[in-house]
Structure 1
Amino acid sequence: MAGGLAELIFQVGLLAVQGAYVAMEVNHTLKSSEQKRLRHALAKKSLGRSSLNSQSSRAVLITSSSTNFGHDCERIVNIAFQTSQTFPTMMSNCSDIDQYLRKELAKRYSNEYFHIIIGDYNEFGFSVDGGEHFVEIEYDQYKVLIFSTKRNPYTKLDTHDANSQMALEWNKKY
C-alpha cells in the first residue's frame, strides 16, 4: 500500500511538473506571438499611411490571352505599383512603371515588343482581341493594358509616350 501511495504521489508530482512546463511553454508562445504582433504593428505604423494602402491593394486580372501571361503581368504590375506607393522616388510616374514592366516582360518574352498603356480607371476603355499576348489589369484607380507585337529588326517603332510623365496619385478619391 505504501508503494502504491508513493507511486501515486510520484505521478501527481510528475503531472504537476509537466503542467508547469506546458504552462511555461504557452506563456512563452503567447509572449512571443504578442511581441511579434507588437513589432508588426509598430512596423506598419512606421511605414506610413501610403504603405498601408499598398498592402491592401492588389492588381485584378480582367482578361488575358493566356493564364500564364496574365499571371506574369499581374505579378509584375503588383510589384511595380506597390513599389511606386512605398518608394515614390523610385517609381513616380507612368514612364518608370512602363520601363520596369518592359524590362521584366523582355526577360521571359524576348521575341515580343510590348505596348503598355496606363491610365486612370474611369478615363478610357479598350479592347484587344486576336493578339498573341494581351492583358487588361486594374489596380486601384488605374487600368493597365499590355499587348504585344512581333519584333522586327527593320521596323522602327514610335515610342512616343503621351502620358509618360503623368504622376501617379495614390490618395485620389472618386
Structure 2
Amino acid sequence: MLGLIVISIKLIELTDRKITESKRAKRKALLASNPHHQVSPFSPSVPSIPPPPAYLQSSPYFGREKDRHGSPIYTTIPRDLASVEVRYNKYIESIVFTSRTTGKRYTFGYWKSTAKYSEVISLEEGEKINGIVLKMGKFLNRVKIEPRRLSGNSKTLGGKVFKVPIDGERTLVGVKGRYCEHINSIQFVTSL
C-alpha cells in the first residue's frame, strides 16, 4: 500500500514537471516568433520614475516616514487662494483651500470627516502664503499659514514644530501626504 502511494506521488511530480517544461517551451517559441513580445531586462541606470519638472519643488516629508502607513492623499491648490479652512477634532482632519475666482474647494484630508471645530484663515486679494508652520506628533496637530494665525487644537499635544518657508518667487501649488485615522504625514509642493 505504501509503495502505491510513493509511486503515485512520483507520477504526479513527473507530470507536473513535464507540464512546466511544455509551458516554458511554448512561451520561448512565442517570444522568438514575435519580437514585440520580448521583454527587455531591467537596467538600474534607466530611471523608472522621471524626476519632477525643474519648476516644481517639494518640501521635506513630515510625519511617520518609516512605516508610511495609511492611504495616500493629495490635492492641488489654486493660485488665487481666497481662504484656508482647517477642520479638526483632537487632530486635524482636513485642510480646505478655496479659490477666489471660481469658489471651488480643494480638500486635503478626509472629506467626509465630521469635525467639531473649524477655523478659516482668509487671505486678501493678491496676498501670498510665505510660510507654513506645522506641529506634528503621531498626527498633524496644528497648522499656521504665515502671515496669519495658528489653527488646530490649542491643547498641549506632544509633537515637534516644523517650518516650511516659501521663497518669494514661489507659490504653493499642492499638498500630498497620508491619512490613517487622521493626517499622519504631509509634504508641500511649490512652483515658480
Normalised by the length of structure 2, the TM-score is 0.28
Which of the two has greater helix per residue?
A: 1
Normalised by the length of structure 1, the TM-score is 0.30
